[in-house]
Amino acid sequence: MAYRVLGRAGPPQPRRARRLLFAFTLSLSCTYLCYSLLCCCDDLGRSRLLRAPRCLRGPGAGGQKLLPKSRPCDPPGPTPSAPAALAPAPRLPAANLSGSPRLGTKRLPQALIVGVKKGGTRAVLEFIRVHPDVRALGTEPHFFDRNYGRGLDWYRSLMPRTLDSQITLEKTPSYFVTQEAPRRIFNMSRDTKLIVVVRNPVTRAISDYTQTLSKKPDIPTFEGLSFRNRTLGLVDVSWNAIRIGLYALHLESWLQYFPLSQILFVSGERLITDPAGELGRVQDFLGIKRFITDKHFYFNKTKGFPCLKRTESSLLPRCLGKSKGRTHVQIDPEVIDQLREFYRPYNVKFYETVGQDFRWE
């Protein structure tokens, strides 16, 4: 009896120790198994939720296109800290979104073609755009007459990107006859260079009417719109086609803000007979080298005005669109004579103001 009591009070037998060790090991194994199952199920659910096998993006996709469902996944890489499908796509620098080299900065224009409608503004714009030091907006933004409330940041956003050595140019012919335009442009920059393409006001009015007639065939005759009373010789200056040709009156508003040295007047007539000569004056005015010369032009007999020859960047010759060079409607010669007499004093005053005789009489 004493032996049994002493045995129970002494150290545990080897069999009992093995049982305890086995139970402890089994407990650890079960715990590890449960943890592994939970993690596996969680990963499985997340994989189904994110549809990882579809491989949303692949090499060379730039994060822009979904790959076909049948395309195999990319080789596994280092484990990310967050699921790849939830990670934000890398953002490229703003200037390189297209993948092309940096093209410069969007700036407010240093020069504007402000007028006049049907004078040859589109020709000047297309011709001067050939110059490597000029970048021009192709459309007419009408900022200083219709969209001024949008602000200069909106206006700047429309401009093409330019390098420091390049000039930003914009054309909207209606600026010249907009009363508020000179002040608004001056507030943007008092150093802005202004180009005004002018043309015989009678011819310009007929061209304006011809364009309107092509869009609205039911409008009154040119004679009916030009005169309040033809017998008395009363011209209707409220008609826009007539009013635009009063160049001397419109110029007064501009000279309140800009000196003549900042305004270049281009002859619409000479632009047809000597495009290289007029473009030479434009290049000198903008302070750029004379890159555009006679070699860039040829005369298109069908259209009746010069076109650009093909260049290294353009394999085909470039002419203005079909809306340019329309055949003018026939006008009674007596009506033309009356309008010439009406415009004569305004033309003379314009010649004297700008120091240039356009010989419209």
pTM more than 0.75: no
Q: Is 119 marked within a binding site?
A: yes
Catalytic annotation on 193?
A: no
Neighbours of 327 (CB within 10 A): 7
Flag whether 207 is marked binding: yes
Query: Closest by alpha carbon to 267, among 205, 343, 199, 208?
Result: 199
Was 309 annotated as part of a binding site? no
The residue annotated as part of the active site, out of 117, 118, 171, 193, is 118
Q: Are 349 and 201 in contact (CB under 8 A)?
A: no
What are the boundaries of each domain within the chain? 105-354
- pLDDT higher for 275 or 59? 275
- The response to whether 324 counts as a known ligand-binding position is yes
Average pLDDT, the chain: 79
How large is the average pLDDT for residues 239-253? 98
Please give the pLDDT value at position 23. 59
Q: Is the pLDDT confidence value at 36 over 80?
A: no
- CA–CA gap between residue 11 and residue 20 (Å, rounded): 14
Range 105-354: architecture per CATH: 3-Layer(aba) Sandwich (3.40)
When pLDDT is averaged across residues 130-154 and rounded to a whole number, the result is 97
Alpha-carbon dihedral sign for residues 175, 178, 179, 183? negative
DSSP for 176-189?
A: GG-TTHHHHHHHH-
Exposure letters 38-64 (e unless 16+ CB within 10 A, then b): eeeeeeeeeeeeeeeeebebeeeeeee
DSSP state of 110: S
On the question of a cis peptide bond just before residue 124, with omega within 30 degrees of 0, the verdict is no
**Cβ 141 vs Cβ 198: under 8 Å:** no
Whether residue 190 is annotated as binding a ligand: the answer is no
pLDDT tier for residue 298 given thresholds of 50, 70 and 90: confident
Q: Higher confidence at residue 96 or residue 150?
A: 150
Q: Write down the pLDDT at residue 304.
A: 76
Q: Is 328 annotated as a binding residue?
A: yes
